[in-house]
């Protein structure tokens, strides 16, 4: 049962899925949640950490007997991280108000209305 998934799915898909999850965890750790915080690298910071981890993992594998380092594996890792970054961005964007400035404009309009009604 344990090795069935590894046999059924191509190696590059497993790499992409693993690094998609890694990106989500790194993003969550950096930003302390799913919303990006200013000054913390937005989406690219977590992607850079994810890809650098993949590069060090491939480098490490070059020294392990019966394993080999592969640039294609690293590419699959990077693609998984990039897909995760896109998914997080789309999620955050979908939860944002259509017009981020609408509350400020509404408050300004209400102030003008109240000032005009006093006159």
- Name every residue whose Cβ is closer than 8 Å to that of residue 60 and which is 6 or more positions away in sequence: none
> pLDDT, tens digit, for every residue of 7-39?
778 888 999 999 999 999 999 999 888 777 777
pLDDT at site 1: 45
pLDDT at site 11: 87
> pLDDT, tens digit, for every residue of 79-115?
999 999 999 989 888 877 666 556 666 677 777 777 7
Query: In angstroms, rounded to a whole number, what is the distance separating the alpha carbons of residues 62 and 94?
Result: 42
Q: Which residue ranges make up each domain of the chain?
A: 7-118
> pLDDT, tens digit, for every residue of 39-88?
777 889 999 999 999 999 999 999 999 888 899 999 999 999 999 999 99
Residue 13's Cβ-side half-sphere holds a number of Cα atoms within 13 Å equal to 6
CA distance between the termini of the chain:
79
């Amino acid at each position: 049962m344990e090795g069935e998934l590894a046999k059924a799915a191509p190696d590059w898909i497993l790499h992409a899925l693993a690094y998609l999850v890694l990106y989500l965890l790194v993003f969550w750790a950096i930003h302390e949640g799913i919303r990006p915080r200013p000054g913390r690298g937005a989406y690219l910071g977590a992607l850079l950490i994810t890809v650098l981890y993949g590069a060090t993992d491939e480098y490490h594998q070059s020294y392990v007997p019966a394993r080999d380092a592969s640039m294609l594996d690293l590419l699959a890792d990077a693609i998984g991280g990039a897909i995760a970054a896109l998914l997080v961005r789309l999620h955050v964007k979908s939860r944002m108000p259509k017009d981020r400035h609408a509350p400020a404009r509404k408050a300004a309009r209400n102030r003008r209305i109240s000032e005009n009604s006093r006159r």
